[in-house]
Amino acid sequence: MNLDELNKVALAMVAPGRGILAADESSGTIKKRFDAIGVESTADSRRDYREMLFRSTDAMKNNISGVILYDETIRQNAKDGTPLVKLIEQAGSLPGIKVDMGAKALPFCPGETITEGLDGLRERLAEYYKLGARFAKWRAVIDIGRGTPSYTSIKANAHALARYAALCQENQIVPIVEPEVLMDGDHDIERCFTVTEWALKTLYEELYYARVVLEGTILKPNMIVPGKKSNQKASVEEVAELTVRVLKACVPSAVPGIAFLSGGQSDEEATAHLDAINRIGGLPWNVTFSYGRALQAAPQKAWAGKAENVPTAQRAFAHRAHMNGLAALGEWKSDLEKKAAA
């Protein structure tokens, strides 16, 4: 393992004003997204859509530091035969890969899951490195409900994340560790804080025991928000303050950067929260975005599967990337959204 190289990649992933595009939707997930815009999901339509994003020069060169790919996408070529990985590299961005096999039911823990995919991972990582991947992603899912999460779920998922991270570093790949506390329930913001704190503290203990070198990792956490079914509403400032508080309590300063997931927030909410977090300042890590829907919803809708809509869709993508790039610097303003809409 070359730690200097891993650290260099990790720092590039969270470079000021730049963040990560999560384009790693599984075939099932992207089918749902395409159904919503009336596009048939085929290998070609998925390729065309992602190629459109990766050829969005303004967005990719200025605000996208890396792209998380799905297994199918890392092997695909653009229409002109150029590997999609090469398009990402040519834009000055880093190719990455989602390596987990999804969340499956955790035995004897009703309603809870464990992320699978450790079997054969060492060999898969070696292949992905040859295909151009320089970082990877593994998502653990923590659901808040009555009596959940359990110690079993928190511990098992943190252990799996740590084993994955160690295998990544062994293969000279930077691991993104993603312990996502879902915002789907009716819990209040304090409960989200408590569970996130527990998940993060357990994660960093497991990473230590797995001998993972933190300087060669990136954390992809949720923000501290009330559940979507909760009656409670939280201000942008409250979300930012509690998120920073939990991160300062749990995340060692050796970690080069934190790239938030959007987790079901609207485009503008995800941007506003990221901006407010960075405005607090004095953070020991670079703090940016690793968004999927919050970057892609607008371009998907604008594209609608039609070649003539590509320039409009690319502008929509560039706008969202630019807004989030400003938020990663603490320089976003809501009137910039209104000006673009006008």
Active site residues: 178, 220
Q: How do residues 9-65 score in pLDDT, each as one tens digit?
A: 999 999 999 999 999 999 999 999 999 999 999 999 999 999 999 999 999 999 999
pLDDT at site 339: 74
Q: What are all long-range contacts of 111-115, with beta carbons under 8 Å and residues at least 24 apart?
A: 111/143, 111/145, 111/148, 112/143, 112/148, 112/149, 112/150, 112/152, 112/153, 113/141, 113/143, 113/153, 114/153, 114/156, 114/157, 114/160, 115/139, 115/140, 115/141, 115/157, 115/160, 115/161
Q: Which amino acid is at 211?
A: R
Whether 342 shows a pLDDT value over 60: the answer reads no
Q: How do residues 70-126 score in pLDDT, each as one tens digit?
A: 999 999 999 999 999 999 999 999 999 999 999 999 999 999 999 999 999 999 999
Q: Where are the domains of the chain?
A: 3-341
Contact yes or no for 263/289 (Cβ under 8 A): no
Whether 150 shows a pLDDT value over 80: the answer reads yes
Confidence of residue 5 (pLDDT cuts 50, 70, 90): very high
In this structure, which CATH number among 3.40.50.800, 3.10.310.10, 3.50.50.60, 3.20.20.70 belongs to the domain 3-341? 3.20.20.70
What is the token pair recorded at 289? 């975005």
- The mean pLDDT value of the chain amounts to 97
Q: How do residues 195-208 score in pLDDT, each as one tens digit?
A: 999 999 999 999 99
Residues of the chain with pLDDT > 90, as a percent, come to 97
Whether 264 shows a pLDDT value over 90: the answer reads no
pLDDT at site 338: 81
Give CA–CA dist 151/319, Å, rounded: 42
Give CA–CA dist 317/314, Å, rounded: 5
pLDDT at site 25: 95
Confidence of residue 230 (pLDDT cuts 50, 70, 90): very high
